[in-house]
Amino acid sequence: MKVKKIGIVSRYDNHGALDMAGKILQTFEKRVDILLSPKTAEHLGREDIAVPVESMRSAGAELVLSIGGDGTVLRNISKMEDPLPVLGINMGTLGFLVDVQPGEAISAIENVLEGFTYTERSRLGVLFNGKPLPPATNEVVFITARPAKILTFRVSVDESLVEELRADGVVIATPTGSTAYAMSAGGPIVDPRVDAFLIVPLAPFKLSARPWVVPATSSIKVEVTIPEKEAVIVIDGQHSYNIKDNDVVTLTRAKNPARLISSSVNGFYEKVQSKLA
């Protein structure tokens, strides 16, 4: 079925990304209804079609074109309670979530407008002392708020203690995030089709601390257990919150997944090989 309405969200601090957004708008606005995020619309002088990304679904958009890098994709997904399918156009450097190179953008969009499929990626739902925070598509990172200091963490899975460790921090990642921070910290690369989450210590102060792969149906609880030391929880590199002793962060599978459109004929393994060669 042909697509009738799309949303476009661009990095607005990148002239190349804004130029690409303008080119897409000019090429397709007579063929499909287009909504622009407010900042993109402001820079293109088209405030008449400005709609926040979090409202694009209710405004009738069927997908979102995200123009930037992986961070732009993650930021846009985090704003949507029930994320629309996203096609990432790469105006950054290395990217696993941005599937389309600038020179291929127009032809890729042409194909997508004729009909598209997408994959669903599990996200991490986050409760901070019972209060919901934005879900994570890639990972939730716990790190010390003070450089060159280490923290003591208690990590439990379904009420069973997994680790109590002194470390720089710990990464809880989805399979999508297994090729991001978790991989840099020594975690395994996980096929996105695997229904699991990762627990990866950051520079642990004991040799026995190793990454864990746990079922995505698990409830993961992380506590900082040393008094008077503050830590920071960072969600997808986009949202940061201070946590301290006796605070409890609980992670479970989020209700709504991320949805990613792929225009590439290459599968996950080919993408990993090409990105990490």
Give catalytic status of residue 48 as yes or no: no
Measure the CA–CA gap between 161 and 168, rounded to whole angstroms: 19
Q: How many residues does the chain have?
A: 277
Could you tell me how far CA 40 lies from the centroid of its own chain? 20
Measure the CA–CA gap between 190 and 105, rounded to whole angstroms: 28
Q: What is the DSSP string of 228-252?
A: T--EEEEETTTEEEEE-TT-EEEEE
Instruction: Choose the catalytic residue: 19, 33, 70, 158.
Output: 70
**Three-state SS string across 161-209, please?**
EEEEEEECEEEEECCHHHHCHHHHCCCCCCCCCCCEEEEEEECCCCCCC
Please name which of 114, 141, 108 lies closest in space to residue 126, comparing C-alpha atoms. 141
CA atoms within 13 A on the CB side of 248: 8
3-state secondary structure of 56: coil
Element holding 131 (H helix, E strand) = strand 131-136
Active site residues: 70
